[in-house]
């Protein structure tokens, strides 16, 4: 059987609205043959190309996924994880003013920095160290520490650190356990 037949079988076995990547179908043949088969399915209207290497099984009536969903799928295809960007975390905690940049989505990734377009939105993956990723992924006190770390030593003030402190004692205890993951300049504020 040809690569095209295997790719079609795979695609038509999916539920309408399912997102998949080129990597999901590469097991059926060479990159060139898979790309040709996917391109034919796009031209016939059976699938929608969301961005490079990411497809949606459906037609023009199928609701499109959010930019965040596409970003997570694309990162997962390469074995990477994404999390909220430090700027967004700082804005959530009201440590920075919000910027109204609806044309881009910035995320931290545990791999190489890259970017791609999805519709009118530019999705930027910014490489970040594993310690920051771990803090941001945990949420809560870890997210506030990641946000402060992102703002940086020269810009963080005592008032911002006070504002980021959790109110209840359980959350404060959790914060203290995460201090081993932050630089010394940041942990010293909490240890005083």
Residues forming a β-bridge with 118: 121
**Whether 122 and 139 share a structural domain:** no
Q: Against a cut of 0.95, is the pTM above it? A: no
Provide the residue range defining the domain that includes 187.
130-191
> Which residue among 35, 57, 79 closes a domain?
57
With respect to residue 86, please indicate whether it lies within any of the assigned structural domains. yes
Q: Tell me: pLDDT of 67 over 80.
A: yes
- Which of the pair, 117 or 141, is modelled with greater confidence? 117
Residues 12 and 23 in one domain: yes
46: in domain: yes
The answer to whether residue 183 sits within a structural domain is yes
β 104-109/121-127 pair status? parallel
| Residue 71 forms part of a structural domain | yes
What is the arithmetic mean of pLDDT over 83-88?
87
Q: Are 146 and 86 in contact (CB under 8 A)?
A: yes
CATH code, domain carrying 29? 1.10.10
The residue that leads in pLDDT, 89 or 19, is 19
Each residue of 32-49: pLDDT tens digit?
999 999 999 999 999 999
pLDDT of residue 69: 94
Query: Same domain, yes or no, for 135 and 116?
Result: no
Is residue 73 scored above 70 in pLDDT?
A: yes
Domain annotation covers residue 171: yes
In this structure, the chain runs to a length of 192
Q: Is 89 helix (H, G, I), strand (E, B) or coil?
A: helix
Report helix, strand or coil for 119.
coil
Q: Is 62 inside a domain boundary?
A: no
Give the rounded distance of the alpha carbon of 43 from its chain centre.
Answer: 29
* Domains of the chain: total: 3
The residue among 127, 143, 176 that closes a domain is 127
| 52 and 83 fall within a common domain | no
Per DSSP bridges, beta strands 82-84 and 19-21 are: unpaired
């Amino acid at each position: 059987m040809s690569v095209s037949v295997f790719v079609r079988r795979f695609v038509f076995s999916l539920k309408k609205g399912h997102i998949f990547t080129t990597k999901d179908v590469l097991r059926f043949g060479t990159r060139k043959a898979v790309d040709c088969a996917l391109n034919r399915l796009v031209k016939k209207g059976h699938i929608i190309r969301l961005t490079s290497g990411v497809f949606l099984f459906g037609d023009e009536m199928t609701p499109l996924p959010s930019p965040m969903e596409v970003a997570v799928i694309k990162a997962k295809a390469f074995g990477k994880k994404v999390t909220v960007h430090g700027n967004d975390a700082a804005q959530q905690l009201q440590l920075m003013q919000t910027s109204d940049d609806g044309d881009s989505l910035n995320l931290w990734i545990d791999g190489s920095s890259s970017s791609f377009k999805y519709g009118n939105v530019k999705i930027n993956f910014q490489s970040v160290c594993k310690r920051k990723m771990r803090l941001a992924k945990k949420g809560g006190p870890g997210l506030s520490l990641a946000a402060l770390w992102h703002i940086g030593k020269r810009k963080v003030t005592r008032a911002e650190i006070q504002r980021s402190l959790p109110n209840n004692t359980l959350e404060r205890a959790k914060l203290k356990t995460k201090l081993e993951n932050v630089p010394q300049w940041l942990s010293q504020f909490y240890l005083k």
